[in-house]
Structure 1
Amino acid sequence: MLPQTATAADLEAAYVRRGGQILACDAARRLAVETLEAERALIDAWTRSRS
């Protein structure tokens, strides 16, 4: 929430904070996708080795 009498500095700080939150969320999503892909690749390799 911005203060009732928000200044340009308040708006800039809010944009910077939100940008940081978006970057953190994107990094977490990317890590989750990479982990899932690696897990599936290991399962596929294990399944092929048992055939």
Structure 2
Amino acid sequence: MIDYEKIKKLNNQIAINRERLKTENDFKKKEKLKLRIQIDILKVKTERLN
């Protein structure tokens, strides 16, 4: 069963990380944020499949 609250929470986290990515200057932190965004997107996709 699809948990819409979990999807909403993940989408909010994705939006927050994208905003942080715009203002971040450190290369290492930028890469971590990009990977976190990708992981959260995959979590949303798997949640929708359930």
Query: What TM-score, normalized to structure 2?
Result: 0.51
Greater RCO (CA < 8 Å, at least 6 residues apart)? 2
Alignment-derived partner of residue 10 in structure 1:
29
Consecutive unaligned residues of structure 1, counting only runs of 5 or more, are 32-51
Q: Structure 1 residue 24: deviation in Å?
A: 0.4
Cα 1:9/1:20, change in 2 over 3 Å = same
In the alignment, the residues of structure 2 paired with residue 6 and residue 26 of structure 1 have an alpha-carbon distance, to the nearest angstrom, of: 29
In the alignment, the residues of structure 1 paired with residue 47 and residue 24 of structure 2 have an alpha-carbon distance, to the nearest angstrom, of: 34
Aligned-pair identity in percent equals 20
Q: Which of the two has higher C-alpha Rg?
A: 1
Letter in 2 for 1:17: R
Cα 1:5/1:25, change in 2 over 3 Å = closer
Query: What TM-score, normalized to structure 1?
Result: 0.50
Tell me the number of residue pairs that the alignment of Structure 1 and Structure 2 aligns: 31
